[in-house]
Amino acid sequence: MLLSEGQYVLSAPDASLAGTTIYDPELFEVGEDGYKLTRLKGNPAIIFNYHLTGGVQNNGLDWRIVSIVSQKELFKQLNRIKQYAYVLQTLLIGAGFAVSWYVSRRIINPVNRLVRTIHKYTSCCFPA
């Protein structure tokens, strides 16, 4: 939502809120980091508060953008990203093992052939 000074709602996703005033100023008081954890209608939520600067402030307007997001909705997206990261990590670890096995085979096979050849020549030419 877009708020002017005095918590007057200029615009909101819910059209019925536009033109109203929010009478709970503590609701929008956030720390220096710009957000606050709170409960809204009994559910945990995060309130983001961003003061508009530049031309808006130069015109004497103290407007800000306020976004209220339920933690469940916010973390749903983060959990999806986390799941993709786990799948990608698993695939990369599997690919790493496959490449290391292939490289080790490429190194060990010639060495084993050399050892077999040496044993073959030593057993025929130098009997024990």
* CATH number belonging to domain 2-70: 3.30.450
Stretch among 76-80, 96-100, 101-105 having the lowest mean pLDDT? 76-80
Give all strands of the β-sheet with 64-70 in edge-to-edge order: 8-11, 2-4, 64-70, 43-51, 35-40
Give this prediction's pTM.
Answer: 0.47
For the chain, which residues make up each domain, given as ranges? 2-70
What is the C-alpha separation between 52 and 125, in angstroms, rounded? 91
pLDDT band at 104 (very low <50, low <70, confident <90, very high): very high
* pLDDT band at residue 25 under the 50/70/90 scheme: low
